[in-house]
Structure 1
């Protein structure tokens, strides 16, 4: 009888402690897509990634409305000219945020479905080196429209 009670107590304590464990906060928020000013040119995707308990590496990003996507980074070049370079990966430190925003990191969305219009919601997804994926619904805005305020 004592062994049974000890077993029940152990299982109860384990279940109680499991309820106290916080889930990994790895997530994507504030996602949005700006359509191109010239039809047929790439759209741009933006979002914030929130790192979880362990460092991760983002190795790709994509959307459900484009045939191809690439991570890029814009920066000021020599003489004040703007430059843009493709990124093969982006570090996502533990318990930190990484922002993809105009003028910095972003996702170029090539061959966006022509049916996508401002006000639509599309999915943006970041793929991690371990194969995990983080997605969020993104608001689509018109070319030249102000960025959404989150």
Structure 2
């Protein structure tokens, strides 16, 4: 009787357990440059999964080259430096946003206009790839709220 009671009592606890978080990317968008020959910039959020991984690259079929960068201020000077591979810790939230880390997209296809959705492919050290379709916005436009 007690064993049966215990089994029934523990059943709701088993239903409440969450599956481990999966490595994922969301909240992405690309801000096009006002001057088409200049790079566009992509922003997004990476959520770490159950183990540490490294982001090796982010590519797009509409740009020739892409680089992870970080903006920072040293004294009164703002500068931007390449990041290279980016460590993603298990369970972490990594926000790539204006004024911080971001993706530079060089030599964008000039046919890309605001409102178009573009695929970004994130490649991690485990060999996992995540494709994310993101909207493009014009220079100076507010960030999407999706």
TM range (shorter): 0.7 to 0.9
Tell whether the 8 Å contact from 1:32 to 1:45 is kept in structure 2 after alignment: yes
Find the counterpart in structure 2 of residue 129 from structure 1: 125
> Where in structure 1 are there 5+ consecutive unaligned residues?
1-19
Q: Give the equivalent residue in structure 2 for 1:3.
A: none
For the aligned residue pairs, the C-alpha RMSD in angstroms reads: 1.6
Deviation, structure 1 residue 141: 0.1
Tell me the residue number matched to 1:68: 65
Deviation >2 Å, runs of 4+: 20-24
Q: Quote the residue 1:114 is aligned against.
A: 110
Task: Find the aligned partners of 2:131 and 2:99 in 1 and give their Cα distance.
Answer: 22
* 1:135 CA drift (Å): 2.0
Q: How far did 1:103 drift?
A: 0.6
Deviation by residue 1:55-81 (Cα, 9 ceiling, x = unmatched): 111111111211110000001122x21
Q: Which residue of 2 aligns with 1:31?
A: 28
Give structure 2 stretches of 5+ with no counterpart: 1-16
What TM-score results when the alignment is normalised by the length of structure 2?
A: 0.83
Counterparts of 2:56 and 2:133 in 1: how far apart (Å)?
20
- Counterparts in 2 of 1:1-150, with a 5 A limit? 22=19, 24-78=21-75, 80-150=76-146
